[in-house]
Amino acid sequence: MDRSRFQEPWQGTGVTWLAAPQELHDLAFRYALAVDTLDAEMLARAFTRDGAVRGFGVNPIEFHGSEGLARMIAQVGAAFQKTMHNVFNQTFENGADGEVIGQTTCIASHILAGEDWTLLDMAIRYHNRYRHEDGAWKFAERRLEVVWVETRAVQKFNAEMMNADLKEFRQ
């Protein structure tokens, strides 16, 4: 097995893993909430003034500064009826010049725009750089690596579902 794609900074590099402050963890949740609610101002507050969301590997995206982040939110709103980002693992380590680097994993669920409710799930690994600016930790950069995607049909929720005996949902 080729393990060269796995980064193991704790093996002989002198990198120190961080017991990160809650503020760093919260950034990922605020990012998710901002994207899911299409709130460009909230998203911009989570980033440094020169902050960016970029692709990783073959992903070509590039959104730089508050104008770029607002463009990203507009594109999300146009492409999807709804989104829900589920944040999972987060790691942090010391970076250069007082920055912190880390990774966050996420399953980002997207209902594609259109009549049918088609769900697009993306398994995402964010490669993050954090910087302290204006008295708070913020994203300096998020590089978005899409590891895999899955699509499937889903149903729109309605109140009658709460009163059903749920037989129609069992397979």
- What are the tens digits of pLDDT across the range 107-158? 999 999 888 899 999 999 999 999 999 999 999 999 999 999 999 999 988 8
pTM above 0.85, yes or no: no
In this structure, CATH architecture of domain 22-169: Roll (3.10)
| DSSP per residue, 61-117 | -EEEHHHHHHHHHHHHHHHEEEEEEEEEEEEEEE-GGG-EEEEEEEEEEEEESSSS-
Domain boundaries, the chain: 22-169
- The answer to whether the CB of 13 falls within 8 A of the CB of 19 is no
Torsion of Cα atoms, 54 then 56 then 58 then 60, to 10°: 0
> pLDDT tens digits, residue range 17-52?
556 688 999 999 999 999 999 999 999 999 999 999
Query: Edge to edge, what strands does the sheet with 47-55 contain?
Result: 62-64, 47-55, 136-153, 118-133, 100-112, 80-94
